[in-house]
Chain A
Amino acid sequence: MTTVEAAVAAETERPARRPKGGPDRRARRIATAVAAVLALAWTLPILWVLIGSFNAERITSGTGFYPSDPTGENWSKLVQPDGRAVNVFIAFFNSTVVAVTATVLALVVCSMMAYALARLPFRGSAVVLAAIVLMMLVPTEVILVPLFKQFAALGLLNTYGALIIPHVVSLFGVVLLRQFIANLPVELTEAAKIDGANAWQNYRYIVLPLIRPGLATLGILVFLAAWNDFLWPLIATSTPSMQTLPLALITFRSAYGDSEYGVVMASTILAITPPLLIFLLAQRFIVAGISNTGLKG
């Protein structure tokens, strides 16, 4: 929705660029119009849910293109979840704790590993790097069942630990950050070493600040993966109080989808707002992240 507004704004305030040949300019206008219409169509389904969350109609999933009977009732019901099976705000809290913790831990653990691989090679580190790249090919689904059994054996099911730990190890993240660190001029770390900095100080005060773009990219990817994950939380939790937002949305849908679809839509908007906000704030890093994922394979 915000993207559409932005599109419209960008469209209207853009002054004509340097004058070009007539047909070229017309082609460009047509291309812009086609792209704008398509882009608008792409955002419509999200817009419909936003509209639906303000609609008082009780018909199953009745939406319409505008709220025929606008009301904030759905949202106020969401805020006062008396006696509901799931409190969306508890799920929101859980998702926030899980995604933020996983992001911080992944950044620390992966960047330390990347630093070791790039600058402190140990015996077998080349083999480890090759193994990491190979493991990127293994579909995670193969390990779903044994992973569940391991967490069950440790008594970690239905804990934040179970939801967080699998997101801390990012194979792609290590490969990405190792590349960033390997590209730094060796003189920087050598100079610091001569000034008496040990490996930790080198890592903390020289390397980390210089690889910020890489850290931002990885951080956003980990945050999104943890925030959006569905299958693993579905397996690793069974109590409503430990549900993350994606699970809560589905529980919500099956409990209230028939009678109060507006509330379901309001909770959906609540769930998708943080990732979209992050996207608007850090588009550059997300674009870099997705493009890199493709090229690293």
Chain B
Amino acid sequence: MTAATETRAAPAKPKRRKRLTRTGILFAAPFLALLVFLWVVPVVNGFWVSLTDTNMAEGTGGFVGLDNYANLATDPDFHAALGNTALFVVLNVPVLVAVGLLLAMLLNQRLGGRGAIRAAFISPYLLTGAAVAIIWQTALNPLSGNVNQILGAVGLPEQAWLSTPGEAMGAVVLITLWWRVGFPLLVLLAALQDIPAQLYEAAKIDGANVWQRFRYITLPAIAPVLMLVVLLRLIDSFKVFEQVYLVTQGGPAGSTRVVLQMLYESGFRDFQTGYASAVGWALALIILVVTVIQLALTRRRAS
């Protein structure tokens, strides 16, 4: 519909630019409309609701200021959920990044069938959390699960993985490792492949051993990407929900109940909408603070 203006563009330059702008807005309109509906309004609205005592079951909804946040600060439920989430983050991020890096370095060698091997490590990344939960409950079943059968066969004690308070979180971390390792693996593999092979050859000639080559060539070269992977895993780990909720339901004895499970239950089971929104914003704030700290550390390391 703008064909006419485009073809006789020469005489009216300013008009054409205006027309261009309008065309741009037309192209952007569907996305912008959805963006406002799905992001802008809910973000503003969600923050407002977190300042009210909205309860969808009781129909209340008065402004209470920061009361919800004050309550969170003293809520033992929230403290427990936050503690469990922090434990998950502290265990999950190093394990996932370290194993991801080791696998990436392994796959960076000249291997036979590398494509197929890579596919095997990535394929769990494509599965829904519900399937992951069923797959691992099957494997970790204390009576008939294959993991215990393997342990028994090699003479190790069989475990009630998911029903022992100390072990359930460990099991969740290992399940997450299996499920999500494809991400750090792929990103770090791409970074490793960018390192020129001559660097290693030269270091070898100079007599550098495997560790020295890793410490002084590999690590500095992939440091920026590594930091980014750590950051993304940190953010993601704070938002852990599916694999915990579906495998352990937060048990045993609440030992794996995480912040998002608390948000889901208070918001959509108990209908404390205001309180649940405050939980969401508190989590967002924590993630933001951790992100800023991590970025600051990265920058200081870099300079």
Interface residues of A (CB under 8 A from B): 3-4, 6-7, 9-11, 14, 28, 31-32, 34-36, 38-40, 42-46, 48-49, 52, 59-65, 108-110, 112-113, 115-117, 120-123, 125, 128, 132, 135, 137-139, 141-150, 165-166, 168-169, 174, 193, 196-201, 203, 224, 227-231, 234-235, 245-247, 249-250, 253, 261, 264-265, 268, 271-272, 275-276, 278-280, 283, 286-287, 290-291, 293-295, 297
Contacts and interface: CB of A to CB of B under 8 A. Distances in A.
B31 interface: yes
Contacts of A297: 228, 231-232
B124 A46 contact: yes
Contacts of A165: 34, 37-38
Nearest to A245: B128
6 contacts: A11-B113, A60-B143, A63-B139, A141-B283, A264-B134, A279-B119
A65 B119 CA distance: 22
A36 B113 CA distance: 8
Contacts of A143: 38-39, 42-43, 46, 280
Contact of A169 (B38, B136, B287): B38
B123 A43 contact: yes
A97 B86 CA distance: 38
A64 B147 CA distance: 10
A184 B22 CA distance: 22
B28 interface: yes
Contacts of A275: 126-128
In the A-B complex, the 7 residue pairs with the closest CB atoms:
A120-B24, A294-B187, A10-B113, A113-B31, A39-B120, A143-B42, A7-B116
A139 B283 contact: yes
A43 B291 CA distance: 34
Contacts of B25: 116, 122
Given A138-B284, A230-B130, A63 B138 contact: yes
B21 A123 contact: yes
Contact of B263 (A61, A141, A149, A279): A141
A245 B130 CA distance: 9
Interface of B: 1-3, 6-7, 20-25, 27-28, 30-32, 34-35, 37-39, 41-43, 45-46, 49, 103, 106-107, 109-131, 133-139, 141, 143-146, 149, 178, 182-184, 186-187, 190, 225, 228-229, 231-232, 235, 238-239, 241-242, 246, 260, 263-264, 267-268, 273, 276-277, 280-281, 283-284, 287-288, 291
A10 B115 contact: yes
B128 A227 contact: yes
A198 B6 contact: yes
Contacts of A38: 103, 106, 117, 121
State the majority secondary structure of interface residues on B.
Answer: helix
Contacts of B119: 3, 6-7, 279-280, 283
State the majority secondary structure of interface residues on A.
Answer: helix
A275 to B, nearest CB: 4
Nearest to A244: B128
B281 A268 contact: no
Contacts of B246: 230, 250
Nearest to B189: A291
Contacts of A141: 239, 260, 263, 280, 283-284
Contact of B106 (A31, A48, A59, A116): A31
Contacts of A120: 20-21, 23-24, 27
A135 B32 CA distance: 13
A199 B2 contact: yes
Nearest to B6: A198
A113 B109 contact: no
A295 B187 contact: yes
A45 B135 contact: yes
Most buried by B among A34, A49, A174, A199: A199
